[in-house]
């Protein structure tokens, strides 16, 4: 009886590196200045957003260009319930709201395939944005100013928890039977269904799971800005950035988003303050370039080199 093939021991190295990184991030607020802590916060935010995006789009192949809608809904909830709901409740509710939204639109939306799904998700995010803008304009709410937000350190650790949760979720789902079912339907949905995978249910579950954490991320980030602007929390560039990070990293497990996020984050930190337009241009170039030239991302490139190095077979 032939032995079942065993995965490469390289996964140990990745796990160790990941834990070390997490430890460093957890310790950061205790020895760094507020500027660095804020930077770390942004990094954690992107990790959480990219990991949760991958949970849907890398595993099922349904590429969403509307990921920001969950973030925006979460942020909006916190702002609307400001000072009337206790914050932990508001943040949890933000996650629940995002998940509920996903559950409500999921069935019709997931019937749409391929590139149409991509633009549909984009359209939905924009529709929600403009609807809220129109509603606010109609009710005469010009802008909102938020007083009394918690300290940076509290926000930092809340985001750390979310990033850790997003990573853990992706790892657990990726290794589970559910995750294998998702990958199967990504590869060929009709064949997967014929082999017993409950594709409709699974797609919906992945969609809902991918929404909860971005909702809470949006809620937490709302605490950072004292001046709330609807257009900002529904900015499609947030979706695009998460996708670019995931694409840059490659693969369909947690390694890709972590690599891609780190890489692009460094680029953005350097450029964002000096030249935001140039940064966005580079973002667009990363997106277009990787799709065209290296759709497997960094991981794909590394895997290719390892295969060639081993001499094939």
Partner 1 sequence: MSSADSAPLLEVRDLGKRFGGLTALSGVSFSVAAGETVGIMGANGAGKTTLFSLVAGNARPSAGTIAFAGGRIDGLSPDRICRLGIARTFQIVKPFPGLTVLENLRTAAMFGRAGLHDRREADAAAMAVLEEVGMAALASAPAATLTLAGQKRLEVARAIATGARLVLLDEVMAGLTATEVGQMLDTLRRVRDARGLTLIVIEHVMQALMKLCARIVVLHHGERIAEGTPEAIGNDPRVLSVYFGTAA
Partner 2 sequence: MSSIVDTLLSGQLLFAALVTGSLYALVALGLNLVYGTLRMLNVAHGDVVMLGAYGAYWAFSVGGISPIVAAPAVAALGALAGLAVHRGLVRRLFATAGAGSTRLEGNSLLLFFGLSIILQNAAALAFTPNARGLAYWTEVYHLGNVAMTGNRIAALVIAGATCIAVAALLGRSLLGLSMRAVIEKREAATIVGIDVDRVQAISFALGFATAALAGALVSMLEQISPFTGFPFTIAAFIVIILGGLGNLFAGLGAALLLGALETYGVALTSANMRSVLLYGAFVAALLLFPKGLFARRARAA
65 binds, among partner 2, partner 1, none (CB under 5 to 8 A by kind): partner 2
Q: How many CB atoms lie within 10 A of CB 175?
A: 11
Distance, in Å, from the CA atom of 240 to the CA atom of 260, rounded to the nearest integer, reads: 13
**Residue 166, Cα to own-chain centre: how many angstroms?**
8
Toward partner 1, which CB reaches closer, 202 or 290?
A: 202
* Stretch 2-61 residues interacting with partner 1 (CB under 8 A): 2-5
Per-residue 3-state assignment (H helix, E strand, C coil) for the chain = CCCCCCCCCHHHHHHHHHHHHHHHHHHHHHHCCHHHHHHHHHHHHHHHHHHHHHHHHHHHCCCCCCCHHHHHHHHHHHHHCCCCCCHHHHHHHHHHHHHHHHHHHHHHHCCCCHHHHHHHHHHHHHHHHHHHHHHHHHHCCCCEECCCCCCHHHHHHHHHHHHHHHHHHHHHHHHCHHHHHHHHHHHCHHHHHHCCCCHHHHHHHHHHHHHHHHHHHHHHHHCCCCEECHHHHCCHHHHHHHHHHHHHHCCCCCHHHHHHHHHHHHHHHHHHCCCHHHHHHHHHHHHHHHHHHCCCHHHHHHHHHHHHHCCCC
In the list 52, 184, 210, 261, the residue contacting partner 1 (rule: CB under 8 A) is: 184
In the list 4, 277, 310, 313, the residue contacting partner 2 (rule: CB under 8 A) is: 277
Residue 280 engages partner 2 in binding (rule: CB under 8 A): yes
Toward partner 2, which CB reaches closer, 64 or 167?
A: 64
CB of residue 66 to partner 2, shortest distance in Å = 10
Toward partner 2, which CB reaches closer, 61 or 179?
A: 61
Stretch that binds partner 2, among 44-52, 91-99, 123-131, 301-309 (CB under 8 A): 123-131
Stretch that binds partner 1, among 21-29, 36-44, 186-194, 281-289 (CB under 8 A): 186-194
195 binds, among partner 1, partner 2, none (CB under 5 to 8 A by kind): partner 1
Toward partner 2, which CB reaches closer, 18 or 289?
A: 289
Residue 267 engages partner 2 in binding (rule: CB under 8 A): no
In the list 11, 131, 141, 194, the residue contacting partner 2 (rule: CB under 8 A) is: 131
In the list 36, 188, 281, 304, the residue contacting partner 1 (rule: CB under 8 A) is: 188
Residue 196 engages partner 1 in binding (rule: CB under 8 A): yes
Q: Rule CB under 8 A: which residues touch partner 2?
A: 61, 63, 65, 108-109, 111-116, 118-120, 123-124, 126-127, 130-131, 133-134, 137-138, 240, 243, 247, 277-278, 280-281, 283-289, 291-292, 295
Q: Rule CB under 8 A: which residues touch partner 1?
A: 1-5, 175, 177, 180-181, 183-184, 186-188, 190-200
């Amino acid at each position: 009886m032939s032995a079942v093939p065993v995965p490469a021991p390289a996964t140990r190295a990745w796990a160790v590196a990941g834990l070390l990184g997490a430890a460093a991030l957890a310790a950061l607020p205790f020895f760094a200045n507020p500027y660095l802590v804020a930077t770390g916060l942004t990094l954690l935010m992107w990790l959480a957003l990219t990991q949760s995006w991958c949970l849907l789009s890398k595993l099922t192949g349904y590429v969403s260009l509307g990921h920001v809608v969950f973030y925006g809904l979460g942020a909006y909830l916190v702002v609307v319930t400001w000072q009337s709901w206790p914050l932990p409740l508001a943040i949890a509710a933000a996650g629940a709201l995002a998940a509920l939204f996903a559950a409500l639109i999921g069935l019709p939306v997931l019937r749409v395939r391929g590139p149409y799904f991509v633009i549909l998700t984009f359209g939905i995010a924009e529709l929600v944005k403009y609807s809220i803008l129109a509603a606010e304009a109609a009710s005469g709410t010009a802008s909102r100013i938020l007083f009394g937000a918690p300290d940076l350190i509290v926000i930092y650790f809340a985001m750390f928890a979310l990033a850790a949760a997003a990573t853990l979720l992706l790892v657990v789902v990726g290794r589970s039977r559910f995750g294998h079912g998702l990958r199967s339907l990504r590869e060929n949905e009709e064949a997967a269904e014929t082999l017993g995978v409950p594709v409709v249910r699974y797609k919906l579950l992945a969609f809902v799971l991918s929404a909860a954490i971005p909702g809470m991320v949006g809620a937490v980030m709302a605490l950072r800005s004292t001046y709330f602007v609807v257009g900002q929390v529904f900015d499609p560039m947030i979706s695009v950035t998460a996708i670019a990070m995931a694409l840059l990293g490659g693969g369909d497990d947690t390694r890709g988003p972590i690599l891609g996020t780190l890489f692009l984050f460094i680029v953005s930190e350097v450029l964002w303050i000096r030249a935001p337009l140039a940064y966005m241009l580079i973002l667009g170039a990363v997106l277009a370039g990787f799709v065209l030239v290296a759709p497997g991302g960094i991981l794909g490139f590394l895997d290719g080199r390892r295969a060639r190095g081993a001499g094939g077979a």
